[in-house]
Structure 1
Amino acid sequence: MSDEAALPEPDRVPGAPHPREALRTIGQDQAVADFLAAARAHRLHHGWLISGPRGTGKATLAWSIAKYLLSGSDSPDLTAPPEDPAVRRIRALSEPRLHLVRRPLDDKTQRLRSEITVDEIRRLHGFFHMSAAEGGRRIAIIDAADEMNPAAANALLKLLEEPPARATLLLVAHQPARLLPTIRSRCRELRLHPLGSDDMAQVLAGLGVAHDAARLSALSGGSVGEALRLAGQDGLDLYQRITGLFADYPRMDRRAAAALAELAAGRAGAEGDPFDLVMTLLDRFLTRAARTGLMGAPLPEAAEGEAAVLTRLSPGPEAARLWADAQASLSARARAGRAVNLDPSALVLDMLIGLANQPAL
Structure 2
Amino acid sequence: MSDLPQADKISGLPHPNETQRLFGHEAPRAQVLEAINGDRVHHAWMLTGPKGIGKATLAYHIARFLLAQDPPSGSLFGTPPHVTSLDVPPDHSVVSRIRAESEPGLCVLRRPLDEKTGKLKTVITVDTVRELRKFFSLSAGGNGRRIVIVDCIDDMNANAANALLKVLEEPPQDAVLLLVTHQPSRILPTIRSRCRTLPCAPLSPQDLQRAFEAALPDHAFDPGLIALAEGSVGQAAELSLTEGVKTYGAIVDMCRTLPHFDRVKLLKLANSVGRGTEGKFDQILNLLDIFIARLARVAVSPTGAYEAAGGEKEVLLRLCPDQNASRLWADTQLELSQRARQGKTANLDPSSLILDMGLRIEETASKILR
TM over 0.5: yes
Between the aligned partners of 1:212 and 1:298, the Cα distance in structure 2 is 19
Pick aligned residue for 1:284 from 290, 299, 304: 290
Kindly provide the CA deviation profile for residues 246-270 of structure 1, in whole angstroms up to 9, marking residues without a partner as x: 11211211010001011132634xx
Residue from 104, 112, 118 that aligns with 1:110: 118
| Residue from 334, 339, 361 that aligns with 2:340 | 334
Contact 1:204 1:213 (8 Å CA) reproduced: no
Determine the C-alpha separation between the residues in 1 that align with 2:328 and 2:44. 45
Which string of whole-angstrom CA distances, capped at 9 and with x for unpartnered residues, describes residues 258-304 of structure 1? 01011132634xxx701100010000000001100212234310000
**What is the aligned partner in structure 1 of residue 184 from structure 2?**
176
1:74-125 CA-partner distances (Å, limit 9, x unpaired)? 7633111111011100001010111111111223222111111111111112
For residues 319 and 8 of structure 1, do their structure 2 counterparts lie closer, same or farther at Cα, with a shift above 3 Å needed? Answer: same
Shift of 1:243: 0.2
The SS at the match of 2:300 is helix
Task: Give the stretch that moved more between structures: 65-74 or 127-136.
Answer: 65-74
Match of 1:253 in 2: 262
Cα shift at 1:24: 2.7
Match status 1:82 vs 2:90: yes
Does structure 1 retain, via aligned residues, the 8 Å contact 2:289–2:337?
yes
Is 1:42 equivalent to 2:39 in the alignment?
A: yes
Distance of aligned partners of 1:172 and 1:236 in 2 relative to their CA distance in 1, 3 Å threshold: same
Match of 1:244 in 2: 253
Question: Does the 8 Å CA contact 1:117/1:148 hold for their aligned counterparts?
Answer: yes
1:140 counterpart residue number: 148
Q: In structure 2, what is the Cα distance between the partners aligned to 1:22 and 1:205?
A: 13
Deviation for aligned residue 1:133: 1.6
Distance 1:100 1:241 in 2: 41
Match of 1:293 in 2: 299
1:338–1:347 Cα contact (<8 Å) kept: no
| Structure 1 residues 169-318: aligned runs within 5 Å | 169-207=177-215, 208=217, 211-265=220-274, 267-268=276-277, 273-318=279-324
* Contiguous gaps of at least 5 residues in structure 1: none
- Mapping 1:9-88, distance limit 5 Å: 9-72=6-69, 76-88=84-96
8 Å CA contact 1:264–1:348 kept in 2: the answer is no
Structure 2 letter corresponding to 1:309: V
For residues 150 and 356 of structure 1, what CA distance do their matches in structure 2 show?
43
Shift of 1:332: 1.7
Q: Secondary structure at the match of 1:273?
A: helix
Give secondary structure in 2 for the equivalent of 1:295. coil
**Is the contact made by 1:125 and 1:159 (CA closer than 8 Å) also made in structure 2?**
no
Give runs of ≥4 in structure 1 deviating > 6 Å. Answer: none
C-alpha RMSD of matched pairs (Å)? 1.7
Secondary structure of the corresponding residue to residue 49 of structure 1: strand
> Which moves more between the two structures, 173-182 or 237-246?
173-182
- Deviation (angstroms), 1:209: 6.3
C-alpha distance 210-6 of structure 1, shift in aligned 2 (>3 A):
closer
Query: Counterparts of 2:172 and 2:337 in 1: how far apart (Å)?
Result: 48
Q: How many angstroms apart in 2 are the aligned matches of 1:12 and 1:229?
A: 12
SS at match of 2:341: helix
In 1, Cα distance between equivalents of 2:279 and 2:51? 17
Deviation for aligned residue 1:36: 0.8
134 and 297 in structure 1: CA distance in 2 versus 1, 3 angstrom threshold: closer
CA distance in 2, matches of 1:332, 1:263: 22
CA distance in 1, matches of 2:129, 2:341: 34
- Higher RCO, 1 or 2 (CA under 8 Å, sep at least 6)? 2
Alpha-carbon offset, residue 144 of structure 1: 0.6
User: Which letter maps to 1:348?
Assistant: I
**Shift of residue 178, structure 1, vs aligned partner:** 1.8
Quote the residue 1:356 is aligned against.
362
Q: Distance in 2 between matches of 1:143 and 1:222?
A: 19
CA contact (8 A) 1:218 1:299 kept: no
